[in-house]
């Protein structure tokens, strides 16, 4: 279930990591075929070299020396290797291209999936771990294909060449290659069985390391303000040590790669066997030379497999982590076939209960009605559930019990994108992108004209400070708006909301970081903006509370009282207590 989905260019099979990766590779069948043909042709033409060398050896040892045979063998080697070079180019080009496209497609699929996850998912999932999966793990899949699978396919073709060519000299010579292949497969299966859990541990350790690093950098102001640099360095060193230990454990397993020993045994046994056959007159000395050259082909799969299979194992470990993230269920459904009509602005809460953690409700049995165009002030002590209530309106979260109606229709019956396009929320923690001021204002309305952007900025009292910058609306602001003051960030957020012209506007203490003079200007802009739309104000400003049509008083997640300011002052002790603690 997705909160939001982006149609991809093709469907993937997500039943297992293996099926998932293969379903991606399957869309590049032409290049995959070229890679296999190139690998087979490369192996065949590599085997041609010892064959021609054996022929040339017989020509050299002949009495008299047979120069024609030697020349034929030399030209055969030259021409075969020219063709081999072309096939190698096609093979390596194909594997590199598939690897890069695989990385691109998987990264796109993962990014679309992350955007479709609910806020609950993102609040529980560490950002650093997500970034490790989206960058390093995805790149490991690229490396799994190139050079990993590319070398595996190439080495597999090299292994079968001695089996194909050795019987041409004597059928008995198949014994040594057959011994190596059987023992190699058994040793490789044992090696991969040992390697797989270790590479999984390596990827997890890297994710934990990256997660801690991202947290420390994101909270660098708190770290420095609390003089906790040494403690954070210690925690990072611990995570780095865990990652190092996992990598060392992987290296120990790689050092136990038995095929290196098997190669020596095979060559010794094969050489002995070939000499016996030559002494018995069954094969020529040149055939012994050629046969040993064929056995030397086993050195390529032996040497490259050590790195290749590690790359494959790391790639599949990364694929498991990425697929696990993609398949993680969210609690919200985008309801693509839901209602997409224009919102009038009537909002009804019917016995709404909500909890972030099951069994610990943040809101309990909340009920109220708001007519289109009304301005609603939500007040209460810290932790009473004010912001949570606002986030239920646009389905940032779904209610646990009860229901929320907009224009008499359950919010879950609306198309989620259509619903959210008509509801704008300005939160206390305002997020701005590291882009131009104009792009930030137009984020929810990318088709907006420069004139509309300026008009929205003026309505939010932001135009004056924007034009004070050398680049004006094209000024690039730092990540999260760190180069701006709190008041400037809030005014840009207000401009963004005004530009989208929402039918329901939710302001979560949106003037807390501005001075009194600017607040008066913004408040008039908010009043003008609220004239034709339903507006929710989460505020502690008495000036805003007084002109609200309806005031909701929350206490410990329950609706303590509701009504106009005058009504509540007369009949609600809880409201009077809150009112008395507020300052103009």
Residue 333, domain member (yes or no)? no
What's the pLDDT tens digit per position in 130-161? 888 888 889 989 999 988 999 999 999 999 99
Contacts 24+ apart (CB under 8 A), 541-548: 541/511, 541/582, 542/579, 542/582, 542/583, 542/584, 543/584, 544/377, 544/511, 545/377, 545/379, 545/579, 547/375, 548/375, 548/376, 548/377
306, 375: one domain:
no
With a CB cutoff of 8 Å and minimum separation 6, the contacts of 162 are 47, 176, 177, 294, 295, 297, 298
- Residue pair 317/148 in contact by the 8 Å Cβ criterion: no
395, 277: one domain:
no
Q: Which helix (H) or strand (E) holds 367?
A: strand 363-370
229, 294: one domain:
yes
- Residue pair 374/549 in contact by the 8 Å Cβ criterion: yes
Look at the chain and report how many structural domains it folds into.
Answer: 2
Residue 4, domain member (yes or no)? no
Q: Assign residue 255 the CATH number of its domain.
A: 1.20.1560.10
316, 351: one domain:
no
Report the pLDDT value the prediction gives residue 218, as an integer from 0 to 100: 73
Report the pLDDT value the prediction gives residue 9, as an integer from 0 to 100: 62
Select from 260, 295, 327 the last residue of a domain. Answer: 327
Q: Using CA atoms, how far apart are residues 55 and 66, in angstroms rounded to an integer?
A: 10
Select from 269, 293, 327 the last residue of a domain. Answer: 327
Report the pLDDT value the prediction gives residue 298, as an integer from 0 to 100: 93
382, 249: one domain:
no
φ/ψ of residue 344, rounded to 5 = -85, -35
Report the pLDDT value the prediction gives residue 112, as an integer from 0 to 100: 84
299, 382: one domain:
no
With a CB cutoff of 8 Å and minimum separation 6, the contacts of 75 are none
Residue 334, domain member (yes or no)? no
pLDDT in tens, the chain (584 residues): 555 555 566 688 888 889 999 999 998 999 999 999 999 999 999 999 999 999 999 888 888 888 999 999 999 999 999 999 999 999 999 999 999 999 999 998 888 888 877 777 777 777 778 888 888 889 989 999 988 999 999 999 999 999 999 999 999 999 999 999 999 989 888 888 888 888 888 888 887 887 777 777 777 766 777 677 888 888 888 888 998 998 888 888 877 777 888 898 999 999 999 999 999 999 999 999 999 999 999 999 888 877 788 888 888 888 988 998 888 766 677 788 889 999 999 999 999 999 887 888 899 999 999 999 899 999 888 888 888 898 899 888 888 899 999 999 999 999 988 898 888 888 777 788 888 999 989 988 888 899 999 999 988 888 988 999 999 999 988 766 667 877 788 888 888 888 888 889 888 876 655 566 666 666 766 776 667 789 998 887 777 788 888 999 998 899 988 988 888 888 888 778 777 765 44
Q: Using CA atoms, how far apart are residues 561 and 555, in angstroms rounded to an integer?
A: 9
- Residue pair 279/221 in contact by the 8 Å Cβ criterion: no
Q: Assign residue 552 the CATH number of its domain.
A: 3.40.50.300
Residue 7, judged by CB atoms within 10 A of its CB (0-12, 13-18, 19+), counts as exposed
Report the pLDDT value the prediction gives residue 584, as an integer from 0 to 100: 44
User: Containing domain of residue 254, as a range?
Assistant: 17-327
47, 141: one domain:
yes
Residue 337, domain member (yes or no)? no
Residue 8, domain member (yes or no)? no
Residue 335, domain member (yes or no)? no
Residue 5, domain member (yes or no)? no
Q: What is the DSSP letter of 425?
A: E
Residue 11, domain member (yes or no)? no
215, 159: one domain:
yes
What's the pLDDT tens digit per position in 490-512? 888 888 888 888 889 888 876 65
- Residue pair 286/54 in contact by the 8 Å Cβ criterion: yes
372, 418: one domain:
yes
Q: Is the preceding peptide bond at 64 cis, omega within 30 degrees of 0?
A: yes
133, 105: one domain:
yes
Rg, C-alpha atoms of the chain: 35
- At 403, is the secondary structure helix, strand, or coil? strand
Conformational region of residue 478, where left means phi above 0, alpha means psi within -120 to 50, and beta covers everything else: beta
Cα angle vertex 489, ends 486, 490, to 5°?
85
319, 359: one domain:
no
Select from 296, 327, 358 the last residue of a domain. Answer: 327
Q: Of 447, 581, 460, 448, whose CA–CA distance to 527 is shortest?
A: 460
With a CB cutoff of 8 Å and minimum separation 6, the contacts of 547 are 375, 527
Q: Which helix (H) or strand (E) holds 563?
A: strand 558-563
237, 379: one domain:
no
What is the DSSP track for 437-457?
Answer: HHHHHTTT-TT--HHHHHHHH
Report the pLDDT value the prediction gives residue 583, as an integer from 0 to 100: 47
């Amino acid at each position: 279930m997705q909160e939001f989905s982006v149609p991809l260019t093709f469907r993937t099979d997500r039943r297992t990591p293996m099926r998932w990766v293969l379903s991606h590779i399957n869309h590049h069948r032409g290049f995959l075929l070229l890679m296999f043909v190139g690998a087979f042709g490369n192996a065949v033409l590599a085997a041609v070299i010892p064959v021609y060398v054996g022929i040339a050896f017989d020509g050299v040892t002949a009495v008299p020396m047979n120069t024609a045979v030697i020349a034929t063998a030399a030209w055969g080697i030259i021409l075969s290797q020219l063709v081999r070079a072309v096939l190698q180019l096609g093979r390596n080009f194909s594997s590199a291209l598939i690897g890069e496209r695989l990385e691109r497609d998987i990264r796109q699929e993962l990014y679309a999936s992350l955007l479709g996850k609910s806020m609950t998912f993102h609040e529980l999932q560490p950002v650093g771990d997500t970034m490790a999966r989206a960058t390093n793990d995805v790149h490991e899949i690229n490396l799994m294909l190139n050079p990993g699978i590319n070398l595996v396919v190439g080495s597999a073709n090299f292994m079968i060449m001695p089996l194909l060519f050795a019987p041409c000299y004597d059928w008995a010579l198949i014994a040594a290659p057959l011994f190596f292949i059987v023992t190699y497969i058994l040793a490789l299966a044992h090696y991969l069985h040992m390697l797989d859990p270790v590479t999984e541990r390596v990827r997890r350790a890297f994710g934990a390391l990256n997660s801690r690093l991202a947290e420390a950098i994101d909270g660098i102001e708190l770290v420095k303000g609390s003089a906790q640099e040494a403690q954070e360095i210690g925690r990072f060193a611990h995570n780095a040590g865990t990652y190092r230990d996992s990598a060392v454990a992987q290296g120990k397993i790689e050092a136990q790669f038995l095929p290196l020993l098997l190669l020596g045994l095979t060559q010794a046994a094969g050489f002995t066997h070939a000499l016996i056959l030559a002494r018995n007159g069954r094969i020529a000395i040149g055939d012994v030379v050629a046969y040993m050259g064929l056995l030397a082909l086993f050195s390529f799969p032996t040497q490259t497999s050590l790195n290749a299979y590690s790359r494959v194992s790391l790639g599949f470990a990364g694929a498991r982590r990425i697929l696990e993230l993609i398949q993680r269920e969210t609690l919200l459904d985008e309801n693509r076939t839901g209602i997409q009509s224009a919102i009038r602005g009537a909002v009804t809460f019917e016995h709404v209960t909500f909890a972030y953690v099951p069994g610990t409700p943040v809101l309990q049995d909340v009920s109220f009605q708001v007519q289109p165009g009304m301005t609603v002030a939500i007040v209460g002590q810290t932790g009473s559930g004010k912001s949570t209530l606002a986030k239920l309106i646009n389905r940032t979260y779904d209610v646990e019990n009860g229901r929320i109606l907009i224009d008499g229709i359950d919010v879950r019956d609306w198309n989620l994108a259509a619903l959210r396009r008509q509801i704008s929320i300005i939160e206390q923690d305002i997020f701005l992108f590291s882009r131009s001021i104009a792009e930030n204002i137009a984020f929810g309305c990318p088709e907006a004209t420069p004139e509309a952007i300026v008009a929205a900025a003026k309505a939010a009292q932001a135009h004056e400070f924007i034009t004070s910058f050398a680049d004006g609306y094209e000024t690039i602001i730092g990540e999260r708006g760190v180069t701006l003051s709190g008041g400037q960030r809030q005014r840009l957020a207000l401009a963004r909301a005004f530009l989208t012209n929402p039918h329901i506007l939710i302001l979560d203490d949106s003037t807390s970081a501005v001075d009194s003079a600017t607040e008066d200007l913004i408040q008039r802009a908010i009043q003008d903006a609220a004239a034709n739309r339903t507006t929710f104000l989460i505020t502690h400003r008495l000036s805003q509370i007084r002109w609200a049509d309806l005031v909701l008083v929350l206490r410990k997640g329950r609706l303590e009282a509701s009504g106009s300011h005058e009504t509540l002052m007369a009949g609600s002790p809880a409201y009077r207590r809150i009112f008395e603690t507020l300052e103009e």
